[in-house]
Amino acid sequence: SAQVIDGKKISDTIREEIKSEVASLLDKGVRPGLAVVLVGEDPASQVYVRNKAKACEDLGFYSEVHRLSAETTQEELLGLIGRLNEQESIHGILVQLPLPKHIEEKPVIDAISVAKDVDGFHPINVGNLMIGDDSLLPCTPAGCIELLKRTGNSAAGKHAVVIGRSNIVGKPISLLLLREHATVTICHSRTPNLAEVARSADILVAAVGVPKLVKRDWVKPGAVVLDVGINRLPDGKLCGDVDYEDVLETAGWITPVPRGVGPMTITMLMANTLKAAKKTHGIE
């Protein structure tokens, strides 16, 4: 039976590490600061924003939550971002996605200062990830790599298969695995022989958004299975893109949903904000 990767526990450990770094930053007169911007009343987004503010409080960060009405114009939002870019107490800016339909995502992401782009979605940070330069990494992909490292699962020389090619998850995870010296195959909705490709993976990442897509016969015995999916079932329960019960006997390592990849995302956001604060103040 697979070893279960306890994302909650690993995330708690990293949070303790961040907390002690914050303490030593405070001694130098620096408090990491995060601004979270929420436009509109999307219920899931409200929960995410609340959790991010809570994490800031728990870790000793300064935080601001800007809750804007659903009628906010693109211009008003860009104005706020401009002010946050200039604000010294703020080292990280996160605009909660999705935005209401009348606001274009791209100009908003592009407006965030590269140094404060703690989501890692700005084209310059994406480009730096691509060429392997130091940058702020997207949180969920960075969290996946951290899970591998902290369970002693090196990616070097392994075949990693990523199902999903979104800009926020699939693509950046693939680039990070490549950086970790894996041989990477990226699959998506037009990949004809998905099960067969998945079965050749030493490390299988599912970032699809299809509940329980990955079955036992998609998994090579002993493979590391990282399930990024967060899907709500009709009964209200959460499930991943992997059929966890079905795959549990075959996989070598597996992340559950919840308590797998999920808890790592906000923790990596905190880590990015800390990193941005240190860089701004020339620390380390």
Positions in the binding site for ligand NAD (CB under 6 A): 140, 163-166, 168-170, 187-189, 194, 207-210, 228-231, 261-262, 265
> How far, CA to CA in Å, does 92 sit from each of 82, 83, 85?
13, 13, 9
CB of 62 to ligand NAD, least distance (A): 24
Does the annotation count 52 as an active-site position?
yes
CA distance 41 to 12: 29
Smaller CB separation from ligand NAD, 93 or 214: 214
Q: Residues 246, 239: contact at Cβ < 8 Å? A: no
The residue sitting closest to ligand NAD, measured at its beta carbon, is 166
From 117, 119, 202, 243, active-site residue = 119
Beta bridge partners of 187: 163
Min CB(210)–ligand NAD separation in Å: 5
Q: In which order are the strands placed within the sheet that holds 3-4? A: 3-4, 253-254, 224-227, 203-206, 159-163, 183-187
Choice between 80 and 176, CB closer to ligand NAD = 176
Q: Nearest distance from residue 189's CB to ligand NAD, in Å?
A: 4
Closer of 71 and 196 to ligand NAD (Cβ)? 196
Integer Cα distance of 85 and 141 in angstroms? 25
In 3D, which of 121, 217, 216, 206 has the Cα closest to residue 172? Answer: 121
Q: Which two tokens stand for residue 177?
A: 């695995």
CB of 241 to ligand NAD, least distance (A): 6
Residues contacting residue 17 through CB under 8 Å, at least 6 positions apart: none
Nearer to ligand NAD, 52 or 72 (CB): 52
96 is catalytic: yes
CB of 262 to ligand NAD, least distance (A): 4
**Closest Cα to residue 168, out of 207, 214, 212?**
207
46 is catalytic: no
Instruction: Give the DSSP letter string of 134-176.
Output: --PPPHHHHHHHHHHHHTT---TT-EEEEE---TTTHHHHHHH
Residue tagged active-site, from 9, 74, 87, 96: 96
Q: Closer to ligand NAD at the Cβ: 182 or 198?
A: 198
Residues annotated as catalytic are 52, 96, 119
